[in-house]
Amino acid sequence: MTQWTRLAAVDELKPGDRKTEFIDDNPVLLVRTDDDYFCVADVCSHDGQPLSDGPISDNHITCTRHGARFDLANGNALCMPATEPIVAYSIQVTDDGILARLATSDDSNSQSNAIPTNDETSVSDHDANPADNSTATPGPPETTPSSESDDASADLDPTAGESGTIDAAVMLEALKEVIDPELMVNIVDLGLIYDVRHDGKDLVSVDMTLTSPACPAGPQLVQQSKMALERLDGITEAQINLVMTPPWTPERMTDDARDNLGIF
């Protein structure tokens, strides 16, 4: 059976504090939020960088490098560019200190990682089946483009465009030439394009988003999208509107994008 490792004294961390330690030579991050403790691997699954300095909100931690966000309770990746979870550890709060270990079948889902209010110790299984966990990546509101479509471009009208102008299908094909440099998938299949429309005879506008607000490739993708459209006959100017509402979620990706990223 996996042994418990003592990470901190009971009174060592105040609400909002965090501490880096090692379990079996693996770096881990111990976090206290109010009266709850969480322990996850201190390694972003996207690029291997430490998560210890990342901002924490709603029990989610964000990597400062590229904006990947993870659930502290179970390690699930909540947004791109991360597609793989990080390791989450079970927590035990005892009089001797805060203990952690890899989750085992002996750890009960019904137990809590909160500071006990009596002599009982509390154990939490942070590595529970993600399907049983109530924390999930939120999808776009119902009033926004559908996130359940198998094709990211299904929400766009392929016949859009006035007589004598280029329709949306042609513009989407042009935008497929724009490749996310980190994920190596085109921005249409990633579901980053929300709308394409004609604002004039030779002027088009595109509403697009990013996999995360902190995506470092954002300026590059915007510029390449503009250039891809302006290379089309009949378009002299393309205006790219970068929007963050509704937020992007992995459900917007096409099956081709999922296959390329190894998501099944």
Query: At 3, is the secondary structure helix, strand, or coil?
Result: coil
CB distance 221 to 192 below 8 Å? yes
Strand partners, 205: 197, 239
Query: What is the pLDDT averaged over residues 87-111?
Result: 80
Domains delineated in the chain: 5-132 (2.102.10.10), 168-261 (3.30.300.130)
Q: Of the spans 5-9, 141-145, 254-258, which averages the highest pLDDT?
A: 5-9
Find where tokens 């996999």 sit.
211
Residue corresponding to tokens 């513009």: 171
Instruction: Name the DSSP class of 252.
Output: G
> Over the stretch 152-188, which tens digit does the pLDDT of each residue have?
544 554 444 443 456 788 889 999 999 998 889 999 9
CB 6 within 8 A of CB 96: yes
Q: Tell whether the model's pLDDT for residue 71 goes beyond 90.
A: yes
The SS3 of residue 227 is helix
Q: Tokens 């995506």 map to which residue? A: 215
Tokens representing 68 are: 């990947």
For residue 241, the cross-strand partners are 207
Indicate the pTM of the whole model. 0.49
